[in-house]
Structure 1
């Protein structure tokens, strides 16, 4: 699959290196079990490349910089490439000065936030990344979406594998709704709200679910905590606003409500942070202590039939399983990928076996 995705991006006009980077991010996401942001997203990126929203040959530009910070104008290049560029810049600053913070504007959908945080962790650093997005979240007591799904990714080196935390500040990301629609499965919980506080579960309710892409419609994703303060709705809502601060506000780029699918000149803002644990003490000892702490959590008594995991465990297990047994791609997504390959003249037959 990774070679097929790479050849598709080469056919779009991206360089070999860029195409490999994009393929790595998408297939890695499927390998760790996050199907909502893996190859399933290829159709959305294809649409944005075809309509000109993605500027294939653009190059990100640093527009403001200090020893520990930078603002990057991504100029509507592919989100994954913007993210890799910006996090590498943050890593470079952290290695030189202990910390690096980069905010990026005029970017595009970049996949999972945890991928970029983990780039830093793989370099022995603490990593964080966030992105805003077009309106998806309905703020507490509101009746329409205004804030994006606004995920937060965090990663830190640990044994036997990195700690990786990656969540939307809505109950689920938009991509998970799309996966359930493709699989024709009803939504199992209060993920989508209509008129502020009415749950939507019926996956066949196409008219209502299609309105999730219309910020003026009375339909949106629930914040972490649901729709009421009694269940903690204000917590996910507040986290979404904090992401806006570190992305759109600090970069002077778009906030969620500025981003639309129709405007080719609006795109998300993102943030990338790398911190060297060594600025606080002996790096090896800090990581050793953190690893021991995580193991203590794993060793806690568990509910019968359940396992106590820490963030990153399930992804590590999924990665090992899929590396050995392959990735399962649903039929609708595979059909989309094959159609893209056919249109671009990519010989796909041997690459999907």
Structure 2
């Protein structure tokens, strides 16, 4: 069998293609730039499951009128340190960037700020939004509920979302601490990416439609399910469902359609965002030094046999970003073919 070579594409090239794709699908240049940056940043950090492979699905939602290309993202209830935001059925990235900017601004004066969001959609890489708080020297948090793609602990059918959570913390190291995790063993996007590649996956990631373990990622779609990270992952998913869905009066559990499947249907996803101004508690430099000492102590722990050493949350992604900015972003032949087929459909130039 002929081996297909991976393409290495510069971030700017993917950004340009993504902007053109979203503009052809109805977004303004500004909003096309915003959502494209989230996808390319995800690729740079090695999170290809939430990167450019998702572009055709977001564009299809715009073309099928399932998402509003020009949402009026507005505050519908507020107190000094908390806001409830209606996303007006916009794409999640547009809604979330606008909301996180409002949260950061309030945290500057209040010390801490929290936002609940309703009437939104899938927002891509969860860490993107806390990383915005990080740019302002703050601790950032974000979470989201999703369609029911994960089984409960002990269950064999999807009943809850894998509801991601991300937290970012500034440090005195070259990299910040960035925790970004779904509550399933693996993200649904990763399973979809492996299915596109025609690859096998480890047993223990998913169940097929009959509730049986499988190593074929295609068995996830349409009626298979992700498995939770044990009872702790299931418990965390419940709490994130409440914080992002119930608290914001967004859709929950079975009310949420699959955003990439029901592309003409609003999803009414819920999110939550938080920013903490470190200076309210202690000097930011003192905080960073303290976190740095914590990192040093943890990394000095003896490695287990066969381990290459101890990595902090976000450290590998930081190194990936440095590497891919130089080498280009790896894009599989299958993904590139999908992108170029979409380009032909909407009448724009291909990626390459």
Please, what is the CA RMSD of the aligned residues? 1.7
Matched, 1:209 2:220: yes
Find the counterpart in structure 1 of residue 338 from structure 2.
336
Could you list the runs of 5+ residues in structure 2 that have no partner in the other structure?
A: 1-13
The aligned counterpart of 1:223 is 228
Q: Does 1:45 align with 2:47?
A: no
Which among 260, 268, 285 is matched to residue 257 of structure 2? Answer: 260
Which whole-Å CA distance do the structure 2 matches of 1:97 and 1:133 have between them? 30
Flag as ranges the 4+ runs of structure 1 deviating above 4 A.
Answer: 194-197
Which of the numbers 192, 208, 212 marks the counterpart of 1:198? 212
Matched residue, 2:10? none
Q: C-alpha deviations, 1:220-272, integer Å up to 9, x for none?
A: 11111xxxxxxxx2111000011011100110111132101347133311011
Give the one of 27, 30, 54 matched to 2:67.
54
2:298 aligned residue: 297
Deviates more, 1:140-149 or 1:165-174: 140-149
Q: Which residue of 2 aligns with 1:310?
A: 312
What is the DSSP-based 3-state SS (H/G/I as helix, E as strand, rest coil) of the residue aligned with 2:269? coil
> Deviation at 1:11?
1.9
Residue 195 of structure 1 deviates from its aligned partner by 7.1
CA distance in 1 between partners of 2:28 and 2:63 (Å): 17
CA distance in 2, matches of 1:62, 1:193: 40
Q: What CA deviation, in whole Å up to 9, does each residue of 1:3-38 have, x standing for no partner? A: 111111122232222111111110010001001000
Who is 1:116 aligned against?
A: 129
In the alignment, what sits opposite 2:196?
182
Superposed displacement of residue 189, structure 1? 3.1
1:156 alignment partner in structure 2: 169
What's 2:147 paired with?
A: 134
Unaligned segments of structure 1, at least 5 residues:
213-218, 225-232
Number of aligned residue pairs = 333
Counterpart of 1:229?
none
- Distance (Å, rounded) in 2 between the aligned partners of 1:123 and 1:196: 48
Query: C-alpha displacement at 1:46, in angstroms?
Result: 2.2
Q: Would you say 1:239 and 2:236 are equivalent positions?
A: yes
Paired residue secondary structure (2:34)? helix
Contact 1:138 / 1:196 at 8 angstroms: preserved in 2? no
Structure 2 residue 30 is matched with structure 1 residue 17: yes
Q: Deviations over 1:153-186 (max 9, x none)?
A: 0101112211100000011111111111122221
Structure 1 residue 96: deviation in Å? 1.2
Post-superposition shift, 1:58? 1.9
**Could you list the per-position Cα deviations for residues 271-318 of structure 1 after superposition, in whole angstroms to 9, with x for gaps in the alignment?**
111011222222220111102211222232223451210011101110
Give the stretch that moved more between structures: 88-97 or 51-60: 51-60
Label 1:74 to 1:285 Cα distance change in 2 as closer, same or farther (>3 A): same
Question: Tell me, what secondary structure is at the counterpart of 2:24?
Answer: helix
Offset of 1:75 from its aligned partner? 1.3
Shift of 1:194: 4.3
Q: What's 2:6 paired with?
A: none
Change (3 A) 1:84 1:91: same
TM-score norm. by structure 2 comes to 0.90
Task: Give the 3-state SS of the residue equivalent to 2:297 in structure 1.
Answer: helix
CA contact (8 A) 2:42 2:51 kept: yes
Partner Cα separation in structure 2 for residue 2 and residue 265 of structure 1: 26
| 1:70 counterpart (71, 78, 83) | 83
Which protein, 1 or 2, shows the higher relative CO under an 8 Å CA cutoff with sep ≥ 6? 2
SS in 2 for 1:285: helix
Partner SS, residue 166 of structure 1: strand
SS at match of 2:267: coil
